[in-house]
Structure formats: structure tokens, C-alpha cells
Amino acid sequence: MTHPEVVVVGAGIVGTATAWELALRGITTMLVDRGEVSGGTTGLGEGNVLCSDKDAGPELDLTVLGMGLYDELDERFGEVARIRRKGALIVHPDARTWDAEPARARRLRAAGVAAQLVDAPGVRALEPRLTGDVHGALHVPGDLQCDPRAITRALAADAANRGATVRTHAPVERVLVGSDGRAAGVRLAGGEEILAGAVVLAAGPWTGPLAESAGAPLPLEPRKGQLLRLRLDRPDERWLRHKIVDGSYLLSVSSAEAGAQVSTVVETTWDGHLVVGSTRERCGFDPAVDAALEAAVRERAARLVPATAPLERDDAWVGFRPWLPDHRPAIGASDRTPGLWLATGHEGAGIALGPITGRVIAGAIAGEPAPMDLSPFAPDRFAPG
Ligand SMILES: Cc1cc2nc3c(=O)[nH]c(=O)nc-3n(C[C@H](O)[C@H](O)[C@H](O)COP(=O)(O)OP(=O)(O)OC[C@H]3O[C@@H](n4cnc5c(N)ncnc54)[C@H](O)[C@@H]3O)c2cc1C
């Protein structure tokens, strides 16, 4: 068998987008996953692509680039991707977060994001069911919602049509490193070796041990998140018109707190029901749904949108965001192990950043110039010294 030029580990949105971009460039690629395509974290979130929940900096700049890529995906995959440009409202029940919002709005606009401050009556005009007490909101009309699972599957199918090999149910045990110190492929559980000129690790929150096996450890941890689905008797995609996010969400994302935090997000799904969240907790891979946190999530959502209070609970579930201590993903080549590439640590923004991560990794492997300064995402930045 001829060896692929690149083996990509992990068929979530990040790894699959990377394999797709490699296939578009005519680079022979094998995408390997221990389960199904998009069977990990990618299928478990709200599917939002948001600039509104960020502040100025490299992650926002990458998100702005990534937002443009969603237009391309929309054109290529059409209704399959279920892209809805509904916009987001960052609402402020708390005067302290509201007072800080005008300055952040200016920073977002300077980064190229359309964003307007709206007073309390303006919020109600935009979102009639948001009758809770708020000082105002930041309205970011370009933010969108999509179906990440469907997009990832469409990318995998298109990559396969272009010659990539997609291997599912193939757990990778470790990265193979040659006597010259270069990444040389991967070894599967069971002993099979897949040799390749380069290895991309995109195994989401499970990337840590694989990176370690390649001599490039990362301080990656799972950050647990819990979501709740509420049922509408008559499904209505426009029951809420926007993604609604409590202003305290931004503080929760950027905090390194290990204990459970709750900040409200609420919106309708493409099938006309509601998804309500969310929590953040650093407690390892604990898959249990916490009933007390679920009650807190519901109670807070009802403070903003009281009409959610009587709705029937449909389901609740947990996912694990891949988290790095400086809140930035690791994207790029490892200097410690030549031939090894890292693409992980996107925390709560892996849907927004997955496709653009695939593009920059594949572009770099193909020798193309980077679309922005990627040094803030250097995978070796945590190495001692
Ligand atoms: C509750 C919640 C809500 C979220 N909402 C949003 C949102 O609205 N917007 C947003 O941008 N982001 C959101 N996120 C974050 C986003 O879902 C993740 O950042 C993103 O899915 C990570 O994608 P990934 O491809 O890196 O990882 P994953 O999707 O987890 O994919 C990793 C893959 O690697 C495979 N794998 C692992 N180990 C091995 C191995 N040893 N061998 C072979 N394969 C392996 C797994 O099977 C898996 O398929 C949310 C996350 C959670 C938990």
C-alpha cells in the first residue's frame, strides 16, 4: 500500500476540515477516528459561529477569517449545512458588564465586526420574548448558527470523493517517531502502523496523550459543558429570533476557575425547539448530567425569557470542550517534533474556528503563506523555557 502524505487523527470538525483542505490541494490524506465522523464534541454543542462572545485579539481575528469561510461552506453545501444568520444579542442584566460594553463594541468594530449597542426597549423590539430585566444588549447581526455534525459529515464525504481515505473505528494508540526525531505516522490499537510524511493531531479533548507520545506534550484538559433541550408544542424556528447570551458568559469563558460556572445562553434550534445552557467545569471526563446545574440553567434562562419556564424538558447532555490554560487553541507545526502538527484546544469556539483551522494547517503543509500571524497559537508555547 502507498503511504498517505499526511495522516490526520480525529474526525471532528477540526480534523475533518483539515483533511478536506488537504484533499482540495491534492495532498494524499488519511483521516482516522476511533469512532464515527463527528461522533465526539462536534455534534454536542449549539452550533454557533460567534464574534459577539469575543474581545479584540488573535482569536477574534481568526474568527473573523473563519466567518468568511462559512459563506463558502454555505455556497458549497447549501441547506445541508443549515446555516442561519440570525445574529446574537449579548444581553446585560448586570450594570457592571453593561458599563464595559461600549468599549468592547468599539474594539469589535475595529476588528471588522458589525456591532451595535441597543437599549432595553430596543432589545424587546428585536426579541419580544426577552422580557426579563436588562440594561441593554450588544447586537451582532452577522453571527450565525449551523449544523456542525452535518457540515463535518459533508466535508468528510467530499474529502473522500477527492481521494482522501476516511477510516472510522480505528483508535490511534500513539504517534510513531523515527530515529531522526520526526513524526513518521501512527500506530493503531491492535498494532497496525500507518506511515506518513506528516501527522496532524486533531483529537479534540483527547489529544493530550497522543501529543505526549510524540514528544510534544500539551497542558490540555476537558472543560465539561452541560446543555438542556426544551420542547415547544408547536416547533417554531423564530420563537426566539437571535442567539441570546448573558453578558456574564464572557467572564465565564475567560476564567480558569475549576468549579462549576453557569452563564445563560438560550436560542431556538433549526428544528424549532430550544437549547439552553451552559455550564463550564474542569473535572475530567465526567459524563454525568448534574441535576442541580440543570435547575440553575433553567432558572437563569427563565429570568431573561420567562416564557421558557413552563416548557417541557426534552433532553440534557454533556460534552467536553478542549481547553488550554491561556484560552487559545494550539494550531500549527511543533518545533519539538518535526512533521507533527497540532490542531486542538478550541474550547467553546471549535465550530467557529474548525474550518479556518483546517485551512491554515493545510495551507501551511502545502507551503502557502499564512493569512494572519499565527504565532499566538504556536503549539510549543507551553514548553518549559
Ligand atoms: C456544550 C458545548 C457547547 C458548545 N457550543 C459551541 C458553539 O456554539 N460554537 C462553537 O464554536 N463551539 C462550541 N463548542 C465547542 C466545540 O464543540 C468544540 O470546540 C469542537 O467541537 C472541537 O472539535 P474537534 O474536532 O477539535 O474535537 P471533536 O469533535 O471532539 O473530535 C475529536 C475526534 O477525535 C477522535 N479521537 C479521540 N481520540 C482518538 C484516538 N486516540 N484515535 C482516533 N480518534 C480519536 C474522537 O472520536 C473525535 O471524533 C461547544 C462545546 C460544548 C461541550
Percent of the chain with pLDDT over 70: 100
The residue nearest atom 14 of ligand 1, judged by CA position, is 348
Quick check: helix, strand or coil at residue 47?
A: coil
For residue 1, the model assigns a pLDDT of 53
Segments making up each domain of the chain, as ranges: 6-44+149-218+326-382, 88-141+221-323
Assign domain 88-141+221-323 to its CATH superfamily: D-Amino Acid Oxidase, subunit A, domain 2 (3.30.9.10)
Residues framing ligand 1 (Cβ under 6 A): 9-15, 32-35, 39-42, 44-48, 171-172, 202-204, 206, 210, 225, 227, 277-278, 319-322, 344, 346-352, 354
By CB atoms closer than 10 A (0-12, 13-18, 19+), residue 133 is exposed
The answer as to CATH 3.10.20.90 being correct for domain 6-44+149-218+326-382 is no
The residue nearest atom 35 of ligand 1, judged by CA position, is 10
For residue 249, the model assigns a pLDDT of 82
Q: What is the pLDDT of residues 216-262, one digit of tens each?
A: 999 999 999 999 999 999 999 999 999 999 998 888 777 888 888 99
Expressed in angstroms, the distance from the first to the final Cα of the chain is 42
Distance CA 187, CA 176 (A): 6
For residue 110, the model assigns a pLDDT of 98
Nearest Cα neighbor of 189 from 211, 173, 212, 209 is 173
Residues contacting 68, CB < 8 A, separation 6+: none
Region 117-122 average pLDDT: 97
For residue 258, the model assigns a pLDDT of 84
The residue nearest atom 4 of ligand 1, judged by CA position, is 45
Residue from 41, 223, 346, 361 to probe ligand 1 pocket by mutation (most atoms less than 8 Å from CB): 41
C-alpha angle 18-21-25 in degrees, rounded to nearest 5: 135
The atom of ligand 1 lying closest to the CA of 349 is 11
Region 145-149 average pLDDT: 97
Look over the chain and give the mean of its residue pLDDT values, rounded to a whole number: 96
Same topology between domain 6-44+149-218+326-382 and domain 88-141+221-323: no
C-alpha cell at 118: 441597543
For residue 235, the model assigns a pLDDT of 97
**In angstroms, what is the C-alpha Rg of the chain?**
21
For residue 317, the CA-to-ligand 1 centroid distance in Å is 14
Residue-wise DSSP of 233-278 = SS--TTSS-SEEEETTHHHHHH----S-EEEEEEEE-TTS-EEEEE
For residue 253, the model assigns a pLDDT of 79
Flag whether pLDDT at 263 surpasses 60. Answer: yes
Q: What is the pLDDT of residues 152-193, one digit of tens each?
A: 999 999 999 999 999 999 999 999 999 999 999 999 999 999
Strand order in the sheet with 172-177: 172-177, 183-188, 193-195
Q: What is the pTM of this model?
A: 0.97
